[in-house]
Amino acid sequence: MAHSFDTVAREVVELHEDLAAWLGSEAEKEILDRFLDAQDSGFEMVSADGALVARADLASGLEGASNAQPGLEIGIDDVAIVADSDRSVVVRFRETHTTSAGSSTRVVTAVLVDSAGARNGLKWTYVHETAIPG
């Protein structure tokens, strides 16, 4: 099954809207729950600083981070599907975090797996972030 570009791009944007809402405002806990529910139980990520972060560590780190970056906006562009299979899709995109203190940009590669009950039918299983200097 080929994954629809529109569905994959929508999932990328919606996940980051939730993350920005959680970190950038006094959002309800349901926002964090929805963000974490989008992560597969075996989720791992390599952060922009090179740290390997498991799902439990991500959840723990975000738990007390509501409004930690007031006004945070996360822009997503240059979305591309780089590999597509019957049960997963690899997507690459550029992510720009902006607050009143400035902005940072990274290129992200992510593996999303099919999950019938998930938003947009996909769960995040792996993310690798690469910081863009500047």
Q: Is 102 left (phi over 0), alpha (psi -120 to 50) or beta?
A: left
Between CA 131 and CA 116 the distance in angstroms is 32
Between CA 31 and CA 37 the distance in angstroms is 10
Residue boundaries of the structural domains of the chain: 5-132
Residue range 42-72, pLDDT digits in tens: 999 999 999 999 999 999 999 999 999 999 9
> Could you identify the residue written with the tokens 């780089």?
82
Residue range 80-93, pLDDT digits in tens: 999 999 999 999 99
Residue range 14-28, pLDDT digits in tens: 999 999 999 999 999
pLDDT over 90 (residue 134): no
pLDDT over 70 (residue 1): no
Residue range 34-46, pLDDT digits in tens: 999 999 999 999 9
Q: What is the pLDDT of residue 57?
A: 96
> Could you identify the residue written with the tokens 């996940």?
15
Between CA 76 and CA 61 the distance in angstroms is 23
Cβ 95 vs Cβ 79: under 8 Å? no
**5-132: CATH architecture:** Roll (3.10)
DSSP sequence for 98-119: EETTEEEEEEEEEEEEE-TTSG
